[in-house]
């Protein structure tokens, strides 16, 4: 079982952040991110399980969800 984020060293946290932020730049608005999320889920579902395309889509979905959460936390009041 992995360490919690608060138990990680500074370099481990930086490595985790680099994994999340690597790849192409994501759209800047919540609506654009949700549309990309929808399209990426379709791509993931169409790809053979375990293929490079499947794994890449899963990674991108995670990055999108983190960015949507960041935007939603900054909203006043938050959308839910």
pLDDT in tens, the chain (80 residues): 444 445 545 554 444 444 455 678 999 999 999 999 999 999 999 999 999 999 999 999 999 999 999 999 988 775 66
Give me the pLDDT at residue 75, please: 84
Q: Which residues contact 48 (CB under 8 A, 6 or more apart)?
A: 54
Distance CA 11, CA 48 (A): 34
Output the CA–CA distances (angstroms, integers) from residue 16 to 30, 37, 42, 44, 49, in the order listed.
Answer: 23, 21, 26, 23, 25
Cα distance between residue 43 and residue 40, in whole Å: 5
Is the pTM higher than 0.85? The answer reads no
pLDDT at 25: 93
Give residue 4's pLDDT: 47
- Residue 78's pLDDT is 57
CB 61 within 8 A of CB 41: yes
């Amino acid at each position: 079982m992995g360490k919690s984020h608060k138990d990680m060293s500074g370099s481990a946290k930086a490595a985790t952040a680099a994994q999340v932020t690597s790849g192409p730049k994501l759209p800047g608005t919540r609506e654009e991110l949700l549309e990309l999320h929808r399209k990426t889920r379709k791509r993931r579902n169409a790809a053979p399980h375990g293929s490079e395309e499947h794994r890449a889509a899963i990674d991108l979905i995670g990055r999108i969800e983190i960015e949507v959460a960041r935007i939603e936390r900054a909203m006043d009041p938050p959308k839910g």
